[in-house]
Chain A
């Protein structure tokens, strides 16, 4: 069964303390892996798409990497405004459409000043 698992469920960091979030997946024929950020009371906001093992994408303090079985979201020197829930998702093919996203349950990140 296609599945996306994220760890840890929650992470508390001090400002400037770098760390990584993990997303492992079991889908056949990966057609990309998406990272989203969700703030309280808001919808998920798109961050990155990764398509092949070895690919990396960066945005400010965030860097996403992809292997054949998992993806990491590295957060370098985080700031309090990086506090949010980070979600990863993979598309599952559905009658030719590949935008049926299977989401993980997210990692709730809290960065304390």
Chain B
């Protein structure tokens, strides 16, 4: 079955540091890939997505590129802010299914200090 693996967390950074959160996946066919963010006490919000190989999703300074050859979708940001502190989830949706039918990674807690 489908699965998503994220780097072990939590991640603690100083403000303006570079962020990378690794994500790899296992799926049949050509899934769509997503990064969701969860702020304390809130639901999940879509951060960015990519629907085919070599697509780059981007939003709020975050980027991730769909790499089919390495089955990866790593999240990066060049300069993090304290307000980026949250839990980040990598997820996939099978080809041909609703984007709401998601398989999630275990989540990575990010804490950014001033």
Q: Do A and B assemble together?
A: no
Binding site for B on A (CB under 8 A): none
